[in-house]
């Protein structure tokens, strides 16, 4: 299909998608209408049939942009985490943890550790960690709000910095066609140390866990729980599939470890590590040349195979139940897959048909002002606002990456990785704490916490992390991409703020006494 230079009309489709998402709080229909708006503009501009041309262009772009390797990976990943839960491996982890936990800090540390360990999928993380650790946290009078906060803060934030996850594949797919990076996997790995929001979220979880320096509504919730008056607790909560009581800790660890090993080997293979070109015979060279989507699809298939060999012959999961579990797990990934397909299509309509990046570049570069020092911070704030309003990270970076990357390349190419990271970090903010985010809802359900209680206690923590991340991105702009100064400033701001809030609270308590 021939591109059409639509000028200012080229930004209408993403604006329609964003505006509708903000108004309706529903992403799928907003993306569909944004796509149809774009193909309608294209059809009129090319003097085509308004009705059939609009539909034909939409489905043609969709067919061209769909990456079935990524859809296969996401589906197999959902299948894997479902059958792992069926095996009873996560339940076994709970029993193992109980035998070694001897206090409140140990319980919080084990909860945080399990959240970090289950990095391959945020849905599985939310339900599994809550189910396994809820009885332990209740035993040591840890509030359900605190449990929900830890779950939520080690779900999306850890997935967005884990190269072996569905999120890595989704980001890579959004980068396809930008020509800004030699490899989508190399770009994702390069963005990890610059993802300030995700890194600070995880840092804050462990700092609060070890020090107990809670503040705001979370402090009140913890004090009520210590008195046995946890108002945030609910009797009913979401559960993963029924687990076999005979499962062991290895039934969870081995498939996850196998997924990691297979992913690394697959990435090396796709990057030419064992190929004829000597330039790729090093680990770094092969990883930089790797194709993430097919490699992760191969790895997830191998991990499912390992799970089959571990569970079915031992009778841990009967053959029929195993196959049914694979299907049920794939169903859980359907919403994410649909968002991916629609985000790819909208990106293709804007980038390939309407030439949106060219128009945005011309507008930004025509001003003559040096916006580069503010770009990372502004991009982070925009992505954070959009993701919080819509409750989805994938939809947010699917819309923004194809626009942000070429614009930053035109203004300040040296900040391309920083801008990409700022987009991902802002996208995670909304997925982490928005009341309508699926992981926020699942964290409430998995922990058995009242949803409003979870949102109200977590938002002050999230806003503090977001503010410190914004400062870090401002420093990145002023220093033209100094990671040490940028991340160091953000970390110091976060730790300093927590300490100040803690000592202010202690001072108020002494004054009241």
Query: pLDDT for 33-46, tens place per residue?
Result: 988 998 999 999 88
Number of Cβ within a 10 Å radius of residue 291: 17
Residues in CB range of 135: below 8 A, 6 or more apart: 94, 98
Rounded average pLDDT over 388-404: 77
More confident call, 239 vs 96? 96
> How many residues in total does the chain contain?
513
Strands (DSSP E) along 230-358, which ranges?
none
Q: Is 392 left (phi over 0), alpha (psi -120 to 50) or beta?
A: beta
Cβ distance 114 to 93 under 8 Å? yes
The single residue listed with the structure tokens 């913890």 is 222
Q: For position 331, what pLDDT does the model report? A: 86
Give the model's pLDDT for residue 284: 66
Q: What is the pLDDT of residue 232?
A: 63
Q: For the residues 402-410, what does the mean pLDDT come to?
A: 80
The radius of gyration computed from the CA coordinates of the chain, to the nearest angstrom, equals 23
Helix (H) or strand (E) holding 61: helix 50-65
pLDDT recorded at residue 465: 95
Q: Which of 449, 513, 348, 408 lies closest to 134, judged by CA?
A: 449
Question: In the chain, pLDDT over 90 holds for what percent of residues?
Answer: 19
What per-residue confidence (pLDDT) applies to 513?
A: 59
pLDDT at 422 over 50: yes
Report how far apart, in Å, the C-alpha atoms of 20 and of each of 90, 93, 162, 380, 385 are: 40, 43, 31, 21, 14
For residue 340, the model assigns a pLDDT of 72
The pLDDT score that the predictor gives to residue 469 is: 95
What does the block give as tokens for 311?
Answer: 């569970």
What confidence category does residue 206 fall into, taking pLDDT thresholds of 50, 70 and 90? Answer: very high
Residue 168 · residue 74 · CB < 8 Å: no
Please determine, for residue 368, whether its predicted confidence score (pLDDT) is greater than 60: no
pLDDT at 287: 67
CA 102 remoteness from chain centre: 32
| pLDDT tens digits for range 97-112 | 777 777 888 888 888 8
Domain ranges, ordered by start, for the chain: 7-231+239-512
At 409 the pLDDT is: 80
Asked if 90 and 240 touch (Cβ cutoff 8 Å), the reply is yes
- Cα angle 178, 184, 185 (rounded to 5 degrees) comes to 165
What is the structure's pLDDT at 367? 54
Convert the pLDDT of each residue in 78-102 to its tens digit: 888 788 888 888 778 767 777 777 7
Cross-strand pairs, 449: 233
Q: What is the mean pLDDT of residues 8-22?
A: 79
Q: Shortest CA distance to 144 belongs to which of 156, 160, 131, 128? A: 131
On the 0-12 / 13-18 / 19+ scale of CB atoms within 10 A, 184 is buried
**First vs last Cα of the chain: how many Å apart?**
74
Contacts of 507 (CB under 8 A, 6+ apart): none
pLDDT in tens, 442-456: 788 778 788 778 888
Tokens of 38: 């774009």
Nearest CA-CA partner of 272 in 146, 183, 163, 347: 183
- Judged against a pLDDT cut of 70, whether residue 123 lies above it is answered with no
Q: Return the pLDDT at 237.
A: 47
387-411 burial, b at 16+ Cβ within 10 Å, e below that, comes to bbbbbbbbbbbbbbbbbbbbbbbeb
Q: Does pLDDT of 178 surpass 70? A: no
pLDDT of residue 236: 47
Whether 57 and 74 have beta carbons less than 8 Å apart is answered as no
| Percentage of the chain exceeding pLDDT 70 | 88
The model scores a pTM over 0.75: no
Region 365-386 average pLDDT: 76
- Per mean pLDDT, which range of 47-51, 235-239, 282-286, 309-313 is the poorest? 235-239
**pLDDT given for residue 512 in this prediction:** 64
Q: What is the mean pLDDT of residues 368-382?
A: 78
In contact, 387 and 393? CB cutoff 8 Å: yes
- The secondary element (H helix, E strand) that includes residue 148 is helix 144-153
d(CA 375, CA 378): 5
Q: What's the token pair of residue 141?
A: 């009078």
Of these ranges, 17-31, 107-121, 276-290, 499-513, the one predicted with the greatest mean pLDDT is 107-121
Report which of 163, 159, 165 is spatially closest to residue 197, judged by C-alpha positions. 159
Give pLDDT tens digits for 59-84: 998 888 787 887 888 788 888 878 88
By the 8 A CB rule, do 153 and 432 touch? yes
Mean pLDDT (the chain) is 82
Please provide the DSSP assignment of 80-98 as one string. HHHHHHHHTHHHHHHHHHH
């Amino acid at each position: 299909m021939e591109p059409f230079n639509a000028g200012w009309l080229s930004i209408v489709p993403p604006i329609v998608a964003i505006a509708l998402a903000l108004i309706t709080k529903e992403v799928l229909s907003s993306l569909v209408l944004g796509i149809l708006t774009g193909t309608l503009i294209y059809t009129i501009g090319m003097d085509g049939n308004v009705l059939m041309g609009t539909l034909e262009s939409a489905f043609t772009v969709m067919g061209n942009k769909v990456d079935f390797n990524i859809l296969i990976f996401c589906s197999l990943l959902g299948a894997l985490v479902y059958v792992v839960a069926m095996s009873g491996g996560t339940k076994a982890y709970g029993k193992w943890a109980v035998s070694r936990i001897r206090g409140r800090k140990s319980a919080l540390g084990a909860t945080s550790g399990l959240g970090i360990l289950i990095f391959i999928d945020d849905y599985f993380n939310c339900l599994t960690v809550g189910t396994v650790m809820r009885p332990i946290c209740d035993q040591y009078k840890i509030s359900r709000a605190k449990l929900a906060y830890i779950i939520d803060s080690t779900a999306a934030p850890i997935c967005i910095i884990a190269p072996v996850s569905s999120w890595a594949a989704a980001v890579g797919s959004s980068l396809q066609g930008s020509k800004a990076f030699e490899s989508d996997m190399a770009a994702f790995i390069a963005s990890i140390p610059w993802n300030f929001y995700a890194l600070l979220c995880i840092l804050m979880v462990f700092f609060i866990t070890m020090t107990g320096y809670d503040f705001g509504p979370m402090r009140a919730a913890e004090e009520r729980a210590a008195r046995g008056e946890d108002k945030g607790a609910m009797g009913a909560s979401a559960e993963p599939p029924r687990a076999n009581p005979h499962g062991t800790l290895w039934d969870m660890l081995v498939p996850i470890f196998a997924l990691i090993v297979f992913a690394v080997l697959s990435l090396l293979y796709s990057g030419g590590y064992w190929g004829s070109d000597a330039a790729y015979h090093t680990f770094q060279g092969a990883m930089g040349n790797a194709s993430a989507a097919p490699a992760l699809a191969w790895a997830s298939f191998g991990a499912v195979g390992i799970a089959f060999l571990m569970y079915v012959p031992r009778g841990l999961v009967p053959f029929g139940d195993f196959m049914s579990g694979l299907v049920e797990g794939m169903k859980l990934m359907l919403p994410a897959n649909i968002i991916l397909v629609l985000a790819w299509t909208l990106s293709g309509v804007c980038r390939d048909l309407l030439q949106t990046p060219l128009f945005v570049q011309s507008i930004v570069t025509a001003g003559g002002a040096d916006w580069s020092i503010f770009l990372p911070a502004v991009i982070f704030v925009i992505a954070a606002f959009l993701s919080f309003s819509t409750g989805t990270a994938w939809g947010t970076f699917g819309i923004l990456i194809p626009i942000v990357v070429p614009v930053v390349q035109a203004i300040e190419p040296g900040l391309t990785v920083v801008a990409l990271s700022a987009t991902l970090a802002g996208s995670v903010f909304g997925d982490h704490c928005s009341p309508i985010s699926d992981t926020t809802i699942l964290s409430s359900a998995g922990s058995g916490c009242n949803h409003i209680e979870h949102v109200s206690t977590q938002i002050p923590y999230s806003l503090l992390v977001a503010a410190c991340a914004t400062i870090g991105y401002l420093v990145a702009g002023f220093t033209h991409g100094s990671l040490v100064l940028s991340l160091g400033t953000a970390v110091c701001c976060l730790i300093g703020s927590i300490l100040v809030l803690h000592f202010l609270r202690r001072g108020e308590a002494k004054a009241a006494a």
